[in-house]
Amino acid sequence: MHRLGLAILCLAVMAAAAPARTAPAIGPWLGAPRGSFDLVRGVGDAIEVSGTVRDPDSASALDVAILVDGERVQRLTTDRPGGFGEPVSFTTTVATDPGLHRVCLRLLGDSFGHRTVDCRDATTAPPRSVDPAVEANATGVLVTPTGVVAPVLGVDGNDYTVLTPCGAEATLSEGTFVERARVVIDAGHGGSESGAVGVGITEKNLNLVVAELVVEKLESLGISAQLTRTWDYRVPIKTRADIAAALAPDIFVSVHHNGGARRASVRPGTEVFYAEGMPESERAARIMYEEMVDALDDYSANWVSTVNEGASLRLREEGDDLYGIHRYSPGIPSIITEFVYLSNPSEAALMRQVELQELEADTIVSALLRWWWTDEDGSSRGRQFVDSSSSGTGGFDGCADPPLVGNSPLARRESTLALQQAELGRQAARALTPALFLATDPAVD
C-alpha cells in the first residue's frame, strides 16, 4: 500500500507540474509543507524530540524550529529528502527547565510562511521521592513470555525465581526483567473475577483497556510504568501489592469502574480512595477526583452517586484501610479510581466509546503530572468512613495460575489494546436487554 501511495503521489506531481509551465501565475504549489512529531519525550532534564516533515513542492532540505512554551529554542535543517514530497525525519534533544512544557514544531521559511504544525505536552523527569524502606526491598518483576507480571524473589545465573499470581513460586529462565517503574497501574479484577457488570461492558476488560492506555501515555512522556496484569487472568489483591512493592513506584494506581449506586446526581459519582496515614496518597486522590469530574463535565449522562463520591478514606472497623491495595502497600502512595458507574446503563454507554476510554486515561496522566509538579490539594469533596463490608473476593481461594511460558492463545488474543477495544465493541453489540445490577464493585479486598 505504501508503494502504491508513492506512485499516486508521483503522478500527482507530474499532473500538477505540467500546467504550471504554461500558466506560471497559478503557482507551482501542490500544498504547504507538512510535519508532525513522532516522539516528544522527557529524558532526564531534557526533552528528546523526533519528527517527520515533507514538502510536496520541493526536494530540498527543510528548516524547522522547536519551540518550548512559545520560545524558539532550537533551529535545525533536515537532511535532503529522497524527492519531491518524500518524508524526511529529524531527531534532536532540547535542554529545558524541570517541569511540564508545551513543545511545538514550526516549519520555517517556505512560501507559506512560518507555520506551527504540531504541539505536544512534555515533561522532564518528575522529582522522585520513594520511601527508603520501599526502595530497599524492591526486587523488580519478571514479565514472563506470556506477559504475566511476577515479582522476583531471587536470581541465580539466568534463572529467576518468581512469585506467581496465585502466590506460588516458579523458576523461569526467560522473560523480561523490569527493575523499577515510576508508576504501577493496576487493572482491577480479571479472570473469573469480572468486577462490575454493565450493559455491554465488563469492568475487568474496561479496566485493562484504560490501564494499558495510561501506561502507553506515560511511557510516551518518558515516564516508566508497569501494569500488574496484561491480559485476562486472575490476580489476588495481595499479589498486585507485591508487584507494586517489587517496583518501588512513586505511586500505585488501581483502575476500577463502579457498580451499585442508584441515587440520581447532578454530577458524576466518581470515587477515588486513598490510603490511611499517607498524605501524598490523599493529595493524589483529591487531584485525581477533581480532574476526573472536570473531564466528565463535557459529557452528559444520567449520573448516579452515593455518599462516598469524592476523594474518600474507607476504613475497616479495626481502623486500618478496607482495601487491600492500600493495606498491603505500606510506604507507597496508592489510590483506587472509580471513574463512573458501569452498573448505570447511561454511564456504561459512555464508556463503550473509545473516546471516553482515551479521555479517562488522559485524565489519569494529567492528574499524576499535576500531583508530581504542584503542591496543590485538589478537591475537598469526600469523606472518611468505616465500612466492614467485604465482597469475599480478591483473595487466593480457588486461584488458578495462568500459563507463565509458551504462546498462550489467550495471552496472545487478549494482550493488545486494539483487540480489547474490539471486544468491548462486540460486547456492546451483543447487549440487547438493559438490566439493573445492584452489586457494589467487588473484589477490592
Helices and strands of the chain, counted as H and E runs: 10, 23
DSSP state, 25?
G
Identified binder of Zn ion from the candidate list 147, 165, 190, 195, rule CB under 5 A: 195
**What residue number has its CB nearest to Zn ion?**
256
Q: Could you tell me if 78 and 90 are in contact, meaning their C-beta atoms sit under 8 angstroms apart? A: yes
Distances (CA, A) of 314 to 12, 231, 383, 393: 65, 29, 8, 17
CB nearer Zn ion, residue 414 or residue 445: 445
Nearest-approach distance from CB 242 to Zn ion, in angstroms: 19
Contact window for Zn ion (CB under 5 A) among 183-191, 214-222, 224-232, 349-357 = 183-191
CB nearer Zn ion, residue 47 or residue 340: 340
CB nearer Zn ion, residue 211 or residue 369: 211
Contact window for Zn ion (CB under 5 A) among 144-152, 194-202, 290-298, 377-385 = 194-202
Nearest one of 36, 66, 68, 29 to 54, comparing CA atoms: 36
Contact window for Zn ion (CB under 5 A) among 72-80, 144-152, 181-189, 311-319 = 181-189
Nearest-approach distance from CB 244 to Zn ion, in angstroms: 17
Nearest-approach distance from CB 121 to Zn ion, in angstroms: 29
Nearest-approach distance from CB 262 to Zn ion, in angstroms: 17
Taking CB under 5 A as the rule, which mask of x and - marks residues 426-445 in contact with Zn ion?
---------------x----
CB nearer Zn ion, residue 256 or residue 286: 256
DSSP state, 24?
G
Provide the β-strand partners of residue 75.
65
Count residues near Zn ion (CB under 5 A): 4
193: contact with Zn ion by CB under 5 A: no
Q: Could you tell me if 106 and 115 are in contact, meaning their C-beta atoms sit under 8 angstroms apart? A: yes
CB nearer Zn ion, residue 54 or residue 256: 256
Taking CB under 5 A as the rule, which mask of x and - marks residues 248-287 in contact with Zn ion?
--------x-------------------------------
* Structural element, H or E, at residue 247: helix 237-247
Phi/psi-derived region of residue 358, left when phi > 0, alpha when psi is between -120 and 50, beta in every other case: alpha
Nearest-approach distance from CB 348 to Zn ion, in angstroms: 14
Q: Could you tell me if 315 and 321 are in contact, meaning their C-beta atoms sit under 8 angstroms apart? A: yes
Task: Count other C-beta atoms under 10 Å from residue 247's C-beta.
Answer: 27
Nearest-approach distance from CB 197 to Zn ion, in angstroms: 11
Nearest-approach distance from CB 304 to Zn ion, in angstroms: 16
Distances (CA, A) of 229 to 151, 187, 249, 402, 415: 12, 7, 16, 11, 10
Nearest-approach distance from CB 235 to Zn ion, in angstroms: 13
Q: Could you tell me if 317 and 390 are in contact, meaning their C-beta atoms sit under 8 angstroms apart? A: no
SS3 155: strand
Nearest-approach distance from CB 444 to Zn ion, in angstroms: 6
DSSP symbols for 371-406: HHH----------EEE-----S-SSSTT--PPP-SS
Contact window for Zn ion (CB under 5 A) among 69-77, 158-166, 189-197, 210-218 = 189-197
Nearest-approach distance from CB 190 to Zn ion, in angstroms: 10
Contact window for Zn ion (CB under 5 A) among 182-190, 296-304, 318-326, 411-419 = 182-190
C-alpha cell at 253: 494506581
CB nearer Zn ion, residue 124 or residue 254: 254
The span from the CA of 341 to the CA of 221, in Å, is 29
C-alpha cell at 440: 457494589
Identified binder of Zn ion from the candidate list 126, 188, 190, 198, rule CB under 5 A: 188
Q: Which amino acid, residue 331?
A: G
Q: What is the contact surface with Zn ion in residues (CB under 5 A)?
A: 188, 195, 256, 441
